[in-house]
Structure 1
């Protein structure tokens, strides 16, 4: 095998060299026109963001020419932080990336073809058996140890991994695509770059926003800093902008009207070190769904920002610094800005802010997700009922207690830092509990109902998660109630202050404090429940080892003060959820008849009859424990169901496995706290994950048979039969057609949110 591959590579180079020297009959191959679309179709699904194998990001010419690195971004046990390697941020051009340890995958190596050419040849010469399960020796998933062979190490790689060419373990390039890419590589891989530029309409709006954020004066500068720190992750878009044009806030050494000279700090609240300006920079490269957290910045939003922050009678007398203290406590840093303005700004687009720390900018979010349950709903406290917003004395007492850890990454200080910040947080919880006990009992008016961001659903899929407007799925085990101190702390802890390139101490502190945040959100919600039911509900959330965690690290809850909401004493949490669904009306952006069928018809009324029948059948699989629906134990976290109609139309559904836990209070040992017999399925129209784990394609005429097979499946053999008949394995001849149709569905139903999905987690069922 080794000598055959070597001979093939030499032959390829010889042929390609001759081709390059011969007159070109057809137009020259263009990277932008011919190559990037192939990479987008067949490579970007694995090679994007920080979890791209070997940091090879193929979503842009910049990423392709940057190349690969042996240094992993995700290494939770590293003692020392590593230098950031964010594409378009931390270096400019090949030479700067070479100085950071990246090596070329495009350049030929003497008589040897480029690394990309040889990896593609290895994959093309060993095609997969159509729609067959992959060989066991091919390790997949995020725990795969990537070899990251440098150009001089390819021969050894090919000898050890003869079935692991590129694209890895999936149906590869077509013959035409393969020839196009190999010819381009043999010609020296010339790259033409066409950067996205704003249109005149977009440029005018950019100018307005940049003028606002760069106004002189301490008051204006403080507001601008707060806004920047809250929008730095956003893919913003404008009124009447070009579809697919998005922009990102950065700090630049140059003012508006000049080319951006980006200041690349590790965090957005690090000291820029020089005079700077806030600028809006076009987002370059292929849009990938996992990092695509959108935010509208049209005329309405501009007017809203001016109303909230620039119309009041308040002034900042000085500007805070950028040191660790300022990063640790944004409530102190921005205390001059009215709290009601800060909180209302976050509520207006609450889905965006919850997405920033639940779906996250880092592509692999287990640092956050292993502290949350697989499905829960979130609600928000009305600003007029938020003591931190309305009571200056209380705010003054609470602010020093709201500092967060993670600024000091000394490994030896993890435990002492944890104890210090845990105690601060518990002192705050005690203060909050006493202050709210003096207020009128909480009622329905306690909950914010300003727009359709008021009700959100979170689904966890092991090490990723998704956020959607509306109340989706069965009534969950837990609900969260965010007030302003909790929402702001969560955002700063997991988005602004979190460093994916940080060391084990930083990441451990982040994880431990988020455990306290989750507990705080749950305790806030418990105040809505009857006083005599709170301990029982809390105990059901913290079973077994969770009781030890409650005793060790959490402030005791209020079991005395009453709630103003009248609820069924037998199951007040369920009664609250049902009343919430009933009372919120149009605020509930996503009614869910499939998972919460309350009558004879368990489907949406506004779809074709054949799809209504399909949803009716699918509803039989939802909200049932795995103890009675054994097939759940065979399913991955997030599967896609493509239901194909008789006229060529289709509907797309997310089929999510909700894993049950005794508690989610500890950093390690999750497998010991699972309750597999209580796992359930949620099935919902749309795409509720950036990371499909598998896909089934089921014609509408087969849906009843599919559901019956799922109901009867008791073991691996019967499940394999289901996969053989309806599954789209990685080796399926039309794999990419089906996979990208998921993204096409998003483009058709919610085009602003569209982006290439990730297949790193696509399983070998």
Structure 2
């Protein structure tokens, strides 16, 4: 009855609006934030929320809706020159300015601002096309419907729409997924018919929040030479953060920007491409509220409170140091942060990064760039990262060693000229290899008996950021505190130069709008960073195991690259850690023994044993689990001892699958993470030729992992044994499709949006500070 009434109501409205152009706006019955934003949030932002949103149509804020779309793609690996940046809230300050940058309206026809026929709105035409051509419920998408990020997007204007609709009958919105309800369609249509007015998200800070803003802006804008240098260092490390005040209930999130206006006036951010570009004018550090829907991919949080303030005062201002000459913003200073910030005690800089190691690793592993294959194809699908103890790390503790090595730590990528690619690469890779030889010689002389486990940072007994697990999901990646999954093939040991260089190479100096040369240099140098982290780890294993471990990491053509681009594995210094195995060529045994030593060393900050993935006897259940959770864990634990060779379904699984298990009003959420094995990850191209599916593994994680679920399953607790049995029996893509038919939540499933929303609700319930919308641009068609 309600549906029929809504259809009748909309039909009357639609017929009236199509009949004649309206020259006077009707009464506005809908509020954008109250009535329209929830629809866009539930059905649209999952695809239109990041840099790789189709046609740059970013719907997470009213500004993005008003800006509209562009045929120019942000991600273009073939461009020879840097593209003009198109960052919302920075690169244009009005709708008119965006039109000059070739963005076109999706709300109105060419004569913007006047209420017109619905046919003049591209948004209306798109949702109408989707409404008129629904997909069969829970069906596999036809082959002619292209999904994923690899295909080219069609970005028609309203003038092109007729041809677009004829060629793409299933090209309406929401695209390739369960569509709008009749009520949602009617609401959006009425809103468009009434003029499609938008309104920014309200920002109403409490008195306590205002006081915190004033306090932190005062801190960042102190006038002393030391204070200004520290503020610059902090800004360059926090510019991608979503800052918040954890001790203030309901705190908004903020971004730290350089503004041409002082505190007390509206923020006007500088339009520099990078945070270390020359500002060109006087500026002030300001906190600008994020007035948009948060997207999980870019939601990388950092808290500001009294404890943080005291810690920064202790780190940066307790010691007596001075700034001889304030650094500028020329090429050398942008490419080598160790030179730029040499006046700030190196140990303070390293400890600052260690304090929030998860945040920093998230910034360059998880990104804010939305599509990171330029970086992620240089890392393995699952590995652990640990850090050198700041009390023993060479660079921060030895001034002479630091002065010798600092000139060798510069980073490529600032020059976007394609002709400079070869020369820049040779210069910086040569310096990097010189540095590694100096580092090896220094450590060998300091500790001729070899490395011991005390050189690994234990988090000072309280900081859980000391242990991190990284999972790659093709062109994105995730970070989780703790040691999760099976013991990996490789572990990164990061010292201060590696941690800082990785951050500057992939975050500060990376330009998502950069040229082919810039992106290639970034990718090639990150390859050296990974190699350096692995070489650091080899210090902690017996001499006669290093060659075998390294050979496993660099198989095939990587052996040739090893001779050309990398330094030799050092075999002349022993290790001061006891390894019991008689067979030192057993790589798995060596890795397991180091993992055991690591877990003992860091027991004070461990998140506990990974009972789902590392429990050989299957009897490691946690005491706090309910009877239902015990049942679920036992069922899922069966994957922990398997590989692609023993369980053929593993290589067929999507990169990340979310699993919801329900029992009445109760539900539990897990992630099934497919870890692909490679002969090596040393090359930019040809990844498919380097896969080793027989060695693939599946990691089971509680909760959600990743910003881009590739598929999801919805299983009742009673049916879980049948689901696990069916999944384990799969040996082909057709078999996996049959499992998806029964338990999968396909893009066309009527419950698709409800299930996706529930995954977000789960994060809001368990870790609300980290909650954001999941992106479905990579959701597969099983």
TM-score by length of 1: 0.96
- 2:452 maps to 443
Deviation at 1:444, TM superposition (A): 1.9
Deviation at 1:13, TM superposition (A): 6.8
- Bigger CA drift: 88-97 or 519-528? 88-97
- 2:91 maps to 90
Aligned residue runs from structure 1 range 107-146, under 5 A: 107-108=108-109, 112-146=119-153
- Bigger CA drift: 647-656 or 391-400? 647-656
Deviation at 1:610, TM superposition (A): 1.7
Aligned residue runs from structure 1 range 267-282, under 5 A: 267-282=274-289
- Out of 635, 638, 648, the residue aligned to residue 620 of structure 1 is 638
Does the C-alpha gap of structure 1 residues 93 and 325 become closer, same or farther in structure 2, counting only changes over 3 Å? same
Q: Secondary structure at the match of 1:90?
A: coil
- 1:177 maps to 184
- 1:5 maps to none
- Out of 634, 637, 653, the residue aligned to residue 635 of structure 1 is 653
Q: Secondary structure at the match of 1:434?
A: helix
- Out of 692, 699, 708, the residue aligned to residue 682 of structure 1 is 699
Deviation at 1:195, TM superposition (A): 3.8
- Bigger CA drift: 592-601 or 338-347? 592-601
- 1:486 maps to 498
- 1:415 maps to 422
- Out of 14, 17, 27, the residue aligned to residue 15 of structure 1 is 17
The Cα offsets for residues 519-552 of structure 1, whole Å up to 9 and x where unpaired, read as 0000001101112211111111111111111111
**Is residue 2:727 matched to residue 1:715?**
no
Does the C-alpha gap of structure 1 residues 9 and 430 become closer, same or farther in structure 2, counting only changes over 3 Å? farther
Deviation at 1:275, TM superposition (A): 0.6
8 Å Cα contact 1:197-1:282 kept in structure 2? no
- 2:326 maps to 319
**Matches of 1:610 and 1:220, distance apart in 2:** 55
The Cα offsets for residues 225-256 of structure 1, whole Å up to 9 and x where unpaired, read as 00100010110111333436101100011111
**Matches of 2:201 and 2:778, distance apart in 1:** 31
- Out of 206, 222, 240, the residue aligned to residue 215 of structure 1 is 222
8 Å Cα contact 1:623-1:681 kept in structure 2? no
- 2:765 maps to 748
Deviation at 1:17, TM superposition (A): 6.9
Q: Secondary structure at the match of 1:185?
A: helix
Aligned residue runs from structure 1 range 150-161, under 5 A: 150-161=157-168
8 Å Cα contact 1:213-1:224 kept in structure 2? yes
**Is residue 2:615 matched to residue 1:597?**
yes
- 1:534 maps to 546
- 1:4 maps to none
Does the C-alpha gap of structure 1 residues 150 and 10 become closer, same or farther in structure 2, counting only changes over 3 Å? farther
Does the C-alpha gap of structure 1 residues 735 and 446 become closer, same or farther in structure 2, counting only changes over 3 Å? same
- 1:518 maps to 530
Q: Secondary structure at the match of 1:145?
A: coil
- 2:603 maps to 585
**Is residue 2:63 matched to residue 1:62?**
yes
**Matches of 2:49 and 2:33, distance apart in 1:** 17
8 Å Cα contact 2:378-2:681 kept in structure 1? yes
Q: Secondary structure at the match of 1:140?
A: coil
**Matches of 1:9 and 1:169, distance apart in 2:** 25
Q: Secondary structure at the match of 1:405?
A: coil
8 Å Cα contact 2:245-2:251 kept in structure 1? no
**Matches of 1:315 and 1:9, distance apart in 2:** 73
- Bigger CA drift: 191-200 or 619-628? 191-200
The Cα offsets for residues 270-326 of structure 1, whole Å up to 9 and x where unpaired, read as 011101111111112100000000011111001101110111100112211111111
**Matches of 2:180 and 2:598, distance apart in 1:** 50
- 2:579 maps to 567
**Matches of 2:43 and 2:464, distance apart in 1:** 37
**Matches of 1:271 and 1:419, distance apart in 2:** 27
**Matches of 1:737 and 1:17, distance apart in 2:** 36
- 1:3 maps to none
**Is residue 2:517 matched to residue 1:500?**
no
Q: Secondary structure at the match of 2:465?
A: coil
Deviation at 1:257, TM superposition (A): 1.7
TM-score by length of 2: 0.94
8 Å Cα contact 1:657-1:679 kept in structure 2? yes
Q: Secondary structure at the match of 2:429?
A: helix
Does the C-alpha gap of structure 1 residues 602 and 727 become closer, same or farther in structure 2, counting only changes over 3 Å? farther
- 2:521 maps to 509
- 2:676 maps to 659
- Bigger CA drift: 107-116 or 620-629? 107-116
Q: What is the aligned length?
A: 756
8 Å Cα contact 1:218-1:317 kept in structure 2? no
Consecutive unaligned residues in structure 1, runs of 5 or more? 1-7
8 Å Cα contact 2:74-2:513 kept in structure 1? yes
**Is residue 2:756 matched to residue 1:739?**
yes
Deviation at 1:469, TM superposition (A): 0.3
Does the C-alpha gap of structure 1 residues 90 and 9 become closer, same or farther in structure 2, counting only changes over 3 Å? farther
**Matches of 1:295 and 1:146, distance apart in 2:** 35
Deviation at 1:10, TM superposition (A): 13
Deviation at 1:18, TM superposition (A): 7.6
Deviation at 1:702, TM superposition (A): 1.1
Deviation at 1:602, TM superposition (A): 4.7
Q: Secondary structure at the match of 1:318?
A: coil
Deviation at 1:15, TM superposition (A): 3.2
**Matches of 1:13 and 1:427, distance apart in 2:** 74
Does the C-alpha gap of structure 1 residues 127 and 239 become closer, same or farther in structure 2, counting only changes over 3 Å? same
8 Å Cα contact 1:243-1:752 kept in structure 2? no
**Matches of 1:93 and 1:744, distance apart in 2:** 34
- Out of 406, 411, 417, the residue aligned to residue 404 of structure 1 is 411
**Is residue 2:400 matched to residue 1:354?**
no
**Matches of 2:291 and 2:655, distance apart in 1:** 31
Does the C-alpha gap of structure 1 residues 172 and 750 become closer, same or farther in structure 2, counting only changes over 3 Å? same
Deviation at 1:600, TM superposition (A): 3.9
Q: CA RMSD in A?
A: 1.8
Deviation at 1:115, TM superposition (A): 0.1
**Matches of 1:552 and 1:542, distance apart in 2:** 13
The Cα offsets for residues 648-677 of structure 1, whole Å up to 9 and x where unpaired, read as 211111101100000000111111111111
Deviation at 1:446, TM superposition (A): 0.5
The Cα offsets for residues 385-407 of structure 1, whole Å up to 9 and x where unpaired, read as 11101111100000000001001
Aligned residue runs from structure 1 range 250-289, under 5 A: 250-289=257-296
**Is residue 2:199 matched to residue 1:192?**
yes
**Matches of 2:64 and 2:17, distance apart in 1:** 27
**Matches of 2:596 and 2:761, distance apart in 1:** 34
8 Å Cα contact 2:616-2:641 kept in structure 1? no
- 1:475 maps to 487
- 2:169 maps to 162
Does the C-alpha gap of structure 1 residues 315 and 173 become closer, same or farther in structure 2, counting only changes over 3 Å? same
**Is residue 2:710 matched to residue 1:693?**
yes
**Is residue 2:473 matched to residue 1:461?**
yes
**Matches of 1:128 and 1:315, distance apart in 2:** 67
The Cα offsets for residues 184-237 of structure 1, whole Å up to 9 and x where unpaired, read as 101111122244243221221122211111111221111110010001011011
**Matches of 2:471 and 2:262, distance apart in 1:** 42
- 1:78 maps to 79
8 Å Cα contact 1:253-1:263 kept in structure 2? yes
**Matches of 2:11 and 2:409, distance apart in 1:** 60
Q: Secondary structure at the match of 1:384?
A: coil
**Matches of 2:246 and 2:471, distance apart in 1:** 31
Deviation at 1:615, TM superposition (A): 1.2
